[in-house]
Chain A
Amino acid sequence: MDTQNSGARSVLEGPDIARVLTRIAHEIVERAKGAEDVVLLGIPTRGVFLARRLAEKLEEITGRAIPVGSLDITMYRDDLRMHPPRALARTEIPGDGIDGRLVVLVDDVLFSGRTIRAALDALNDIGRPRAVQLAVLVDRGHRELPIRADYVGKNLPTSLRETVKVQLAEEDGRDAVLLGAKPDTQAAER
C-alpha cells in the first residue's frame, strides 16, 4: 500500500509492530529463562523507544520490572572523521549497572552492522555484561561485519538502492516501517 511518503511502501503497520514486539519479548523470556538478569539498552533514537516498549511487554509477561536504558554510540562510530561531529545523544545505564547481566541491545534497523560494533565498544567502557544479545525490529541485510541479531522482528531483503525508515509514535506520531527508493543523488552509504 502506498503512503503519502514520496512513494514509500509500508511493510509493517502499527498493529504488526506491536505483535512483533510481543513475540520478541516472549523469545527473550524463553531464551533467558525468565529474563531475571536482563537489561535492555536501546540505541538512540528509535531503539530507545523500542527498548521501553519491550520492557513493558516483558514486565507484563514476567511480572517484574525490567531495567531499561539507552546507549549512545556516536563517539564510537568508525566514520566519525568522515562527517562533521554529530550532537551526542543520551547514555543512561540503569542504576545497578550491567556487570554480570544479560544485556539486550535494541535497535530499529540492522544494516551494515557497524552501529552494533560501535555499541559493543561502548559497552566495553561501561562494564562487563555476562552476555550481549541483539534485538532489532527490521533486518535489511547487507552486513559488512560478522554480526547477526538474536531477535528479529522482520527479515526484509532489500536492495542497496532502497531505504528502510522506521517511524514510531513517540517520535514520528505513528508506527510504521517504510520501504522506499533511495534518491539518486545519495551514494550507497547508509
Chain B
Amino acid sequence: MMRHLISAADLTRDDAVLILDTAEEMARVADRPIKKLPALRGRTICNLFFEDSTRTRISFEAAEKRLSADVINFAAKGSSVSKGESLKDTAQTLEAMGVDAVVIRHGASGAPYRLATSGWIDAPVINAGDGTHQHPTQALLDAFTMRRRLVGRDAGIGKGLDGKRVTIVGDVLHSRVARSNVDLLHTLGAEVTLVAPPTLVPVGVESWPCEVSYDLDSTLTKSDAVMMLRVQRERMNAAFFPTEREYSRRYGLDGDRMAKMPDHAIVMHPGPMVRGMEITAEVADSERCTVIEQVANGVHTRMAVLYLLLGGNEPAVTHTRTEGN
C-alpha cells in the first residue's frame, strides 16, 4: 500500500488510470461557480519548498485550497534552513505541529524519499520535484493532457495511452520531467522516444523503457505528442553544446518542424518556455501547443492525488481497487 508519491515509477497502471479518472472529475469542479470541495476539511498540508518554484507551489496550493485543506507554505529562503537547520529538524518541527501531509520540492535527488522513509515524520510525502530525479505530478498532468487531447475527454475514462507515440526533446540529462514521463508513459502503454544531443543523454539510458534518437526530424513524422524540455541554463555547468544557436537549429521546434508532425499531434512544454531557443513563438502560440492547458490540468491532477492519498483513513492508491477496464 502506497502512502507517499515519491516517483512516477511507483505507480501501477491501475493507480495511474484511477488518478487520471479522478482528475477528470476534479476538472468538472473547476467549471462551477464555487470551485471548492470539502474532502480535506480540517487537514493541514505543508508545502515545503527548498527550491524556488512559483508555478508548482501555486498549483499545489490551488489544489489544496479547492479541497478545503489548511495550507502552510514554507520557503527555505529566509527560513531557519538558511541558518543551517537540517531536513530532519524541519521535518520534526512539522510533525510536532501536526501536519497531515508534506509536499516537498528539494534540490537534492532523493530528499523526499529520505523524508518519507526516515521515520522523522508520519505524514504522507508528495514529491514536487527533487533534483534531477523525479517530478511525478508533472508526469501525471502531462499524461492527463495527452489522454484528453489524443483519446478524448470522456472516451479516455478508464483508459491508458496505449500505442500513442511520444517524443521528448531536449535536456534529458538534467530533466526530472523526462525521467518521470518515461516511467509513467511506459506504464500507461505509450511508446517514448527521447531526442537529445549525445552530451545531454544520461548514462544508463539503455535500461530505460524508451528509444533514444539524436535526430529530431526523423521522429517528428510519427509522433502523436512532442514534449519540448526547457534548456536549464542554471544546470549547464559544463559545455554540453557549442552554442545556443546550434542547439536551437538542431533541437528547437519551429513552424517548419511542427508542419511535419501529423495533423492531430500536439506540442507540450512543462514551462517556463525559453522562447526562441527550444521553441519558437509561432509554435508556442499555436493551437497545437498545450502549455496553458497543462497548467490548468496540473491543478486537477494534484487535486486527484491529494484526494486519493489523503481523502480517507488510508490511501486509495495501490490498494484493493482494480475496477474499471
Say yes or no: B312 contacts A81, CB within 8 Å.
yes
Whether B22 lies near A83 (C-beta < 8 A) is: no
Total interface residues on B, using CB and 8 Å?
25
Contact A75 B38 (CB under 8 A): yes
Report chain B residues within 8 Å CB of A80: 39, 311-312
Q: How far is the CA of A72 from the CA of B24 in the complex (A)?
A: 14
Spot the interface stretch: B28-36, B138-146, B182-190, B191-199: B28-36
Contact between chains at B319 and A84 (CB < 8 Å): yes
Beyond A91-B25, A91-B28, whether A83 also contacts B321 by CB under 8 A is no
Q: Is A90 an interface residue (CB 8 A)?
A: yes
Nearest CB on B from A55, distance (A): 21
The answer to whether B312 and A87 have CB atoms under 8 Å apart is no
A57 to chain B, nearest CB (A): 27
A87 and B21 contacting across the interface, CB-CB below 8 Å: yes
Q: Determine how close the nearest CB of chain B comes to the CB of A86; give it in whole angstroms.
A: 8
A173 — which chain B residues lie within 8 A by C-beta? Answer: none
Interface residue from A72, A81, A85, A89 paired with B307 (Cβ < 8 Å):
A85
Across-interface contacts of B308 in A (CB, < 8 A): 85
A34 at interface, CB cutoff 8 A: no
- By a CB distance below 8 angstroms, the chain A residues around B22 are 87-88
Bound Cα distance from A87 to B317, whole angstroms: 10
0 or 1 for each of B287-325: is its CB under 8 Å from A? (1 = yes): 000000000000000000001100111111001110100
**A100 close to chain B: CB less than 8 A:** no
Q: Across the interface, do B315 and A84 meet the contact criterion of CB distance under 8 Å?
A: yes
- Within the assembled complex, what's the spacing in Å between the Cα atoms of A88 and B323? 12
Asked whether any CB of chain B lies closer than 8 Å to the CB of A65, the reply is: no
Residue of B18, B21, B39, B319 ringed by the most chain A CB atoms within 10 A: B39
User: What 1/0 mask marks residues of chain B from 179 to 216 whose CB sits below 8 Å from any chain A CB?
Assistant: 00000000000000000000000000000000000000
Contact B313 A87 (CB under 8 A): no
Quote the shortest CB–CB distance from A163 to chain B (angstroms).
21
Return the chain A residue nearest B43 by Cβ. Answer: A81
- Residues from chain B with a CB closer than 8 A to the CB of A1 are none
Tell me how many residues of A have a C-beta within 8 Å of chain B.
19
Decide: A126 near B321, CB < 8 A? Known: A83-B312, A84-B313, A91-B28: no
Task: Tell me which of A82, A91, A125, A126 has the highest count of chain B C-beta atoms within 10 A of its own C-beta.
Answer: A125
Tell yes or no: B37 within 8 A of A by CB: yes
**Contacting pair A72 B311 (CB below 8 A):** no
Contacts of B316 in A (CB 8 A): 84-87
Known contacts: A85-B307, A87-B321. The answer to whether A76 contacts B315 by CB under 8 A is no
Once bound together, how far apart are the Cα atoms of A13 and B37, in whole Å? 38
Count of A-B contacts judged by CB separation below 8 Å = 58
Contact yes or no, A75 B32, CB < 8 A? no
Q: Report the bound CA distance from A84 to B28 in whole Å.
A: 22
When distances are taken between beta carbons in the complex, the residues of chain A under 8 Å from B25 are 72, 88-91
Known contacts A85-B308, A87-B321; is-contact A75 B37 (Cβ 8 Å): yes
Closest to B23 in A: A88
B34: which of A75, A82, A85, A126 is its contact (CB, 8 Å)? A126
A60 CB–B CB distance under 8 Å:
no
Pair A121/B38 contact, Cβ less than 8 Å: yes
Q: Assuming the A-B contacts A75-B39, A88-B25, are A83 and B34 also in contact, with contact meaning beta carbons closer than 8 angstroms in the complex?
A: no
Q: Which of the listed residues B18, B38, B307 has the most CB atoms from chain A within 10 Å of its own CB?
A: B38
A83 touches B313 (CB 8 A): yes
- Chain A 102-132, CB-CB to B under 8 Å as 1, else 0, gives 0000000000000000000100011100000
> With A87-B18, A87-B21 in contact, do A82 and B321 touch (Cβ < 8 Å)?
no
Q: Which residues of B contact A85 (CB under 8 A)?
A: 39, 307-308, 311-312, 315-316
Q: Which interface residue of A75, A80, A83, A90 has the most chain B CB atoms within 10 A?
A: A75
Interface string of B118-159 (1 = CB under 8 A from A): 000000000000000000000000000000000000000000
Q: CB within 8 A of B312: which of A72, A84, A126, A127?
A: A84
**Nearest A-chain residue to B25, judged by Cβ:** A88
**In the bound complex, CA of A72 to CA of B314 (Å):** 21
Can you give 29 A-B contacts (C-beta < 8 A)? A72-B25, A75-B37, A75-B39, A76-B38, A80-B39, A80-B312, A82-B312, A84-B313, A84-B314, A84-B319, A84-B320, A85-B39, A85-B311, A85-B312, A86-B312, A86-B316, A87-B18, A87-B323, A88-B25, A88-B307, A90-B25, A91-B25, A121-B38, A125-B34, A125-B37, A126-B32, A126-B33, A126-B34, A127-B33
Not counting A125-B36, A126-B32, a sample of 6 additional A-B residue pairs whose C-beta atoms are within 8 angstroms of each other reads: A72-B25, A75-B37, A75-B39, A84-B314, A125-B37, A126-B34
Nearest 8 CB-CB pairings of A with B: A85-B311, A88-B25, A85-B312, A85-B316, A84-B312, A75-B39, A75-B37, A125-B34
